[in-house]
Amino acid sequence: MVTTNDEAVSTVWNIHHSPRKRPRVPRFAADPFDALPDDLVLSILSRLASSASRPADFISVISTCKRLKRLAVSSTVLSTVSLKVFAIRASNWSDEAHHFFKLCADAGNMDACYTLGMIRFYCLENRGGGTSLMAKAAMASHSAALYSLAIIQFNGSGGSNSDKDLRAGVALCARAAFLGHVDAMREVGHCLQDGYGVRKNIMEGRRFLIQANARELATALISARELSPHGCQIRDSTIVGGCPLLSYFGCNVPVPESHPANQFLVEWFGSRRVGAPGLRLCWHGGCGRLETRIQEFRKCSVCRAANYCSRACQAVDWKLRHKAECIPVGLWVEEDGDDRVRAEAGGNVVMVDS
């Protein structure tokens, strides 16, 4: 078959100018995350919530997509949120933060109940709402909530001086001490030694104090072992910034970290002046509790200048700083009875009512 020049040119023209077929674009498969069942995602979120070391860790995860944000507010996840997630700074407190705490508390998170209860009771001055949340946590054997309710009973916080219930305070402290709360052990020990709200028993009180110190030492050893996996030894004055709380064992241990609720209170009252004039903060720097009425807290029996919400706070603050700065009242008021005050200062300092 002979092809003319015109036919050849026409064939080449058709080849070059004919519409080309577009390459087939493969369709992308659906996001594998969308194929995961909700139960599995909830399980993953619960593990993340329980292991988060700061609020940003949890917030950054739930802000990734709408599905995570929707599933993160389920009671399954909120009930497992770790205590460190509630370590919010007072400067960042907002209605949204309050709402988040409330959701966690409603979901059955006892750390949220206690922390929000403390914030409501002392910072927001919602005494009833704060007490009910702390009571909810205490009924679930939350040791910190039991101890805080004991302090409220000892001081009659939120009421008058006649609302003090020493026996109820000792009972709540004893329950918290049974659960291993160090400050509660120390409080019960001092109550037994002084006969405050309970029959005086010096030997039993000393046993509680030694038990509190032993638990504190065990906690310090565990923390040091986690920081140094090759082992550690705690000797006198080997820990920089340590506190000789364990006088029975001759050891210095790091000052225990305050609960996030107490850290919030310290920052809240340190950055603003709230409450009626004349209300005093507990002198222990890691406590943060503020009086709910004038002269609610008891004073140091030596200088009568320092005031504390509890004997446990006084015992810790005495070792940390007050022992070095406590001046007997006889030295700056009058010289009469100075020998008695000095003798008291050299022994076990107690508190007196304001």
Position 290 in a domain:
yes
Most confident of 72-76, 271-275, 301-305: 72-76
Domain boundary among 193, 222, 254: 254
SS3 (DSSP) at 308: strand
Regarding whether 80 and 92 lie in a shared domain, the answer is no
Q: Which two tokens stand for residue 85?
A: 């997630």
Split at pLDDT 50, 70, 90, the class of 341 is: very low
Residues 95 and 242 in one domain: yes
Reported as a pLDDT band with limits 50, 70 and 90, residue 246 is: low
For tokens 């609302």, the residue is 163
Rg, the chain, Cα only: 31
- Residue range 199-208: average pLDDT? 94
Do 298 and 241 share a structural domain? no
Are the beta carbons of 186 and 312 closer than 8 angstroms? Answer: yes
29-56 as b/e, with b when 16 or more CB fall inside 10 Å? eeeeeeeeeeeebeeebbebbeebeebe
Shared domain for 98 and 239, answered yes or no, is: yes
Could you tell me the residue range of the domain that residue 179 belongs to? 88-254
Number of helices (H) and strands (E) in the chain: give both, helices first: 17, 5
Q: What single-letter amino acid sits at 107?
A: A
pLDDT grade, residue 154 (50/70/90)?
A: very high
User: How high is the pLDDT of residue 193?
Assistant: 93
Q: Of 254, 282, 298, which marks where a domain is finished?
A: 254
Predicted confidence at residue 321, as pLDDT, reads 86
Residues 6 or more apart whose Cβ sits within 8 Å of residue 196: 166, 170, 190, 311
- Give the model's confidence band at 330: pLDDT under 50 very low, under 70 low, under 90 confident, else very high: low
Count: domains in the chain: 3
Residues pairing with 300 in the sheet: 351
For the chain, the residue count is 354
Domain termination site, one of 188, 221, 254: 254
CATH number, domain of 187, equals: 1.25.40.10
- What are φ and ψ of residue 243, in 5° steps? -130, 130
Confidence tier at 249 by pLDDT (50, 70, 90): low
Q: Flag whether 5 is in a domain.
A: no
Q: How confident is the model at residue 282 (pLDDT cuts 50, 70, 90)?
A: very high
With CA atoms as reference, report the closest residue to 289 among 105, 102, 121, 88: 121
User: Rounded CA gap, 339 and 342, in Å?
Assistant: 5
Going through the chain in order, the beta strands assigned E by DSSP cover 242-246, 251-254, 298-300, 307-308, 351-352
| Contact (CB, 8 A) for 150 and 178 | no
Under a CB-based contact definition with an 8 Å cutoff, are residues 352 and 304 in contact?
A: yes
CA 240 distance to own-chain centroid: 24
CB atoms inside a 10 Å sphere around CB 148:
32
